[in-house]
Structure 1
Amino acid sequence: MEPHPLFTTLGMLVLDAIHLPNQPPRTDIIGGSGAWCILGARLFLAPPLSHQLGWLIRTGSDFPSSVRALLQSWDIQLHETAVTGQRSTRGELVYADTTFGPKKFRYTTSPLNIQPIHFLSSVPLLATPFLHLLSSPNDTKSQIQDLLNLRRSSGIGEQPTIIWEPAPPSCVPENLASFLEAMKMIDIFSPNHIELAALFSINLRSEDEFDHSTIEHLASKCLESGIGPRGQGTVIIRAGQEGCYVYSRQRGEFIWLPPYYVHNNSSQVIDPTGAGNAFLGGFAVGLMETGDDVLASCYGAVAASLALEQIGLPALGVGEDRVREERWNGVGVRERLGEYLSRLRISVSGRS
């Protein structure tokens, strides 16, 4: 049996059908918060370090062998549970135009959700020290309690570091009190800026000028209420083309980081789907490697940049040099991270 992975997610794998105007649909496109989050982490961990990542997927009878083969090529601890008599989780993503802007999503099959109890079929995942989840506040509270109970009954006493990405439909003012309760059970709270504003009854529109002070003020309210069991958690606000805000406990202040692609009209920016999930997967690896929230967010920004460059997942290949370094979309990910840190004048020690 392999040792337990250092990072996993409760996020799902979704097979998307993508519809663009006047184009035939693209089918069996790998998506879902789990796929993008694991991808964001995998970008930084070539084999054998890739075995530090574990992921449980629940599949139906129609699961494509080509998708399975692609996921297996990542060389992670992939645990597949086939659900008898059900179809795989599928969704439909319909774009209003060819700019990959406004879109609508719906599930076309019943989602095969991942719950902590499912980890009992893949015990190494239960002991992971870093966990990502995307859920409503009530689901977050119940999932964490179930996870901790299962860990205790299995002799695992350590508290995992939990990265919480709130489910977008749950980010409404009437859920604010429940959000504040759930924040006390996690370590990293990371909504996007529109979701954060919606919690506090502020409707941000894409055409509005971005207000840095408002986002920082609302993030501060979350911190003041308390994040984490000991109030030592942090908040990261992902803001798309505006970058992200991260509260640095080491520095005692908010730090704004620009996105890797500073201008949204860059020819490299194709489709933003999955970029936020990939950010948090990259962030998790950065946090494991550096212990610094700001540096970890730089990993996240680089992971998000590779999610933006195509429809679906970036392509994995190898370079032509002697060490045959992995290349994603032809890019050395650690090289891109170094370039981004240099641009921001941030050293590996986290000091600018």
Structure 2
Amino acid sequence: MDTRFRTLPCSNQPSARGRVHYGASTSDRIFTHLAPPLNTTPADLVNTPLLAAQCFHFFDTAAAVSSQIDELHLLRKQAGIEAKPLVIWEPHSKSCTPEALEVHKQLVVSGKVLVFSPNHVELAAFFHASNDTSDASFDRAQVERQSRAFLSSSTQATTFDQSICIVVRCAEHGCFVLYTSPSCEEHYRSAWPPPFFGPDQADRIVDPTGAGNAFLGGFAMGWLETKDLVRAAAYGTVAASFAVEVVGLPDLAACDASGRLAEYEARLHVV
């Protein structure tokens, strides 16, 4: 795997910093910015190999993401890059409101993104609802209903196997994958891949910070390698499992990703 990054000096701005407030469980947490985030745009990738990347992960409001995707496609076209990239959109939590539901739905079904990935709390917030992760109150049926509401008006197919996908990250309850499938009688397919660590392995979870980003990065690699959305979720689940085991970044040299993926996929076939 070729890993690259670009350093962008911002001498007149402080480093981005934040504080995570934990509640009764590791999934009950609130993030607070201590300094303004240092945002990047597609223009920052011009004249770098990163502009030709196969996948892009956006984290912003619907309006900002729509504009940035248009800018990205224009810059790639100007650079002679014809391939259409995989676009994953993680919504900004503060924009997940009932008032913003329709504009989010419109972007999801527009064909600009392949994967829309809120967590279960963000998804519920679009519908004036809540969804606790505790075993007593977590509602899988609610996650499924709300996910289908996002795809219910999907009449336009993307160029990726004719599918539009929503992946809801549900912490210790795994994730819910729902995608359009013209070959299926109901026009949708879905799956509930479980978390890598089960309830009897709760002691393995040290800090869930960054697990969502790790999941979506692994998901992207899984999609690019397999073109299978459920298997991509398996890749994402395994990637997140390394992130939650430590505070900070995991040591890649000590990670047996292939072995853990094989173990998890074998478990999926049993489940």
- Map 1:261-276 → 2, pairs under 5 A: 261-263=197-199, 266-276=202-212
User: What percentage of aligned pairs have identical amino acids?
Assistant: 36
Please give the alpha-carbon distance, in whole angstroms, between the structure 2 residues aligned to 1:295 and 1:150: 31
Q: Kindly provide the CA deviation profile for residues 278-324 of structure 1, in whole angstroms up to 9, marking residues without a partner as x.
A: 1110011111111101111101111111111121111233xxxxxxx
SS at match of 2:81: coil
Once the two structures are TM-superposed, the CA of residue 228 in structure 1 deviates from its matched residue by: 6.8
Aligned equivalent of 2:153: 225
Give the secondary structure class of the aligned counterpart of 1:205: coil
RMSD over equivalenced CA pairs, Å: 2.2
Task: Please tell me the residue identity of whatever aligns with 1:199.
Answer: F
Q: Find 1:117's aligned residue among 43, 56, 61.
A: 43
Residue type at the aligned position of 1:155: G
Residue in 2 that maps onto 1:196? 123
Match of 1:301 among 237, 241, 262: 237
Question: Which one of 138, 150, 163 corresponds to residue 210 of structure 1?
Answer: 138
What is aligned with 1:85?
Answer: 12
Distance across 2 between alignment mates of 1:161 and 1:227: 19
**What is the rounded CA distance, in whole Å, between the counterparts of 1:158 and 1:235 in structure 2?**
22
Partner Cα separation in structure 2 for residue 126 and residue 269 of structure 1: 35
Quick one: distance in 2 between partners of 1:173 and 1:119? 34
**Equivalent in the alignment of 1:244:** 175
The TM-score with structure 2 as length reference comes to 0.87
8 Å contact 1:227–1:234 — kept in the other structure? Answer: no
CA distance in 2 between counterparts of 1:101 and 1:292 reads 28
Deviation for aligned residue 1:242: 0.7
Please state which structure has a larger fraction of its residues in strand. Answer: 1
State the 1:100 CA deviation. 3.8
Q: Give 2:220's aligned residue.
A: 284
Cα distance in structure 1, aligned partners of 2:141 and 2:19:
36
| Corresponding residue for residue 107 of structure 1 | 33
**Greater helix fraction, Structure 1 or Structure 2:** 2
Kindly state the Cα deviation for residue 265 of structure 1 after the two structures are TM-superposed. Answer: 6.0
Residue 165 (structure 2) aligned to one of 221, 234, 237? 234
Greater RCO, CA 8 A, separation 6+: 1
Unaligned residue ranges in structure 2 (runs of 5+): none
**Contact 2:27 2:171 (8 Å CA) reproduced:** no
Could you say which structure has the larger radius of gyration?
A: 1
Q: In 2, Cα distance between the equivalents of 1:215 and 1:264?
A: 24
Deviates more, 1:167-176 or 1:177-186: 177-186
Query: Any runs of at least 4 consecutive aligned residues in structure 1 with deviations exceeding 6 A, and if so which?
Result: none
- In 1, Cα distance between the equivalents of 2:117 and 2:23? 27
